[in-house]
Chains A and B, each alone.
Chain A
Amino acid sequence: MTSYYEASARERLHALLDKDSFREFLPPTERVVSPHLVQLDTPAAFDDGVIVGRATLDGRPVLVAAQEGGFMGGAVGEVHGAKLVGLLERARDEKPAAVLLLVESGGVRLHEANAGLIGVSEIMRAVLALRSEGVPVLVLDGGQFGCFGGMGIVARLCDAIVMSEEGRLGLSGPEVIETTCGVEEFDSRDRALVWRTVGGKHRYLLGEADALVADDIAAFREAAIGLLDTTPDLSLAALAAEHERLGARLQKFGALRDALDIWSALGVAKPEKLPLLEADAFNAVVAGKRA
């Protein structure tokens, strides 16, 4: 068992994909680094914090990207964003079985301001364009920095999300909420609160993540293989159904203050026990109870 949470982006790719199948586009030796960070007198990374390339997964062709949270929180700068957009656009030509996004990002890299914002919007557009041509985009989220900001939106524009409990998914991260709304609203140092609000188990129960797996790269691999045959559906009917589902969810849970209240409303007998359960036991307890 190899922890997905502890691994670097390169280590994740190495262990997740078929052995020795990964070929990197714009590898570090090309030195396509951020032009902005140098001007700010800040060290850049040779891959700008994202690794993109081609590989096989269970023998099937995939294009894949992995964000490195250790470099500036995986934030999307101009080069970083362009690599992701380029990969997604390439997929429209190559038509791989799927595109895998191993996300780990706080969102836009604030050092690069508008260039980063534009990058994120271009990623969103590219995800939707690719899905509309029938290629599924699958998200894996289990890194130390979670997936927030613009990348949180990107993740929810994709076909499916695989999370571990350790993974986190949201728009504003806990620190941002605390800073803007006060510690009474959200205490970002309360780790139990953070994880039961933005962590994988809650996202799975709310229906935002499609699979909850153990913090094990092999478990992420199995889940991704199982999703390779996902068929994107961007029809108006699918969109309307999704909006209906979200509306009903808001109606049902909107007044509740804590994830524990929601789990209770979903029919989980001992909601306070859920954070303690391993993935298998958790999945057994919540079977048929998701929102």
Chain B
Amino acid sequence: MEKLTFEFFGGAPVNATCAPALVGVVGSGNLEVLIEPAALDGACAIEILTAARGFGETWRAVLDDFFARHKLADVRISINDVGATPAVVALRLDQAVEDFLGGEK
């Protein structure tokens, strides 16, 4: 396993009353994404535990794109991954934000 952590700054704080959301399942080629409000001095912190070692640069690219789509602040995102592809990761992250912010289903 490998643990990766990323921090993004410059986002807009979310409503602190947003309920935490969990999407996805820790299964082969899949991942779970837990998103919750957290007092992080304006940071969006993302922590990943992944079964696939050595993909830090790929995660960085996927998460850069994610943060460009969703400029969140004071949010903690925690991921347990079993080798999901970048496309699946991006979809799950979008799904988590949608659930978290109470978007339409």
Q: Residues of B contacting A46 with CB < 8 Å?
A: 22, 32, 34, 78, 80
Q: Residues of B contacting A31 with CB < 8 Å?
A: 78
CB distance B26 to A44 under 8 Å?
yes
Fill in one digit per residue for A50-74: 1 if any B CB lies within 8 Å of its CB, else 0: 0000000000000000001011100
Decide yes or no whether A8 CB sits under 8 A from chain B.
Answer: yes
List the count of A-B residue pairs having beta carbons below 8 Å apart: 47
Docked pose: A21 CA to B99 CA in angstroms:
17
Decide yes or no whether B25 CB sits under 8 A from chain A.
Answer: yes
Set B20, B34, B36, B51: member contacting A43, Cβ < 8 A? B51
CB distance A68 to B25 under 8 Å?
yes
Interface residues on B, range: 10 to 19
Most buried by B among A27, A43, A46, A49: A43
Q: How far is the CB of B46 from chain A (nearest CB, A)?
A: 15
Decide yes or no whether B86 CB sits under 8 A from chain A.
Answer: no
Docked pose: A72 CA to B30 CA in angstroms:
12
Given A28-B34, A43-B49, A43-B82, also A71-B22 (CB < 8 A) = no
**A-B residue pairs, 4 tightest by C-beta:** A70-B25, A70-B27, A45-B26, A28-B22
User: Measuring CB to CB, which residues of chain A are less than 8 angstroms from any residue of chain B?
Assistant: 8, 10, 27-29, 31, 41-47, 49, 68, 70-72
**A43-B51, A44-B26 provided; 11 other pairs, C-beta below 8 A?**
A27-B20, A27-B22, A42-B51, A43-B82, A45-B26, A46-B32, A70-B25, A70-B27, A70-B30, A71-B25, A72-B26
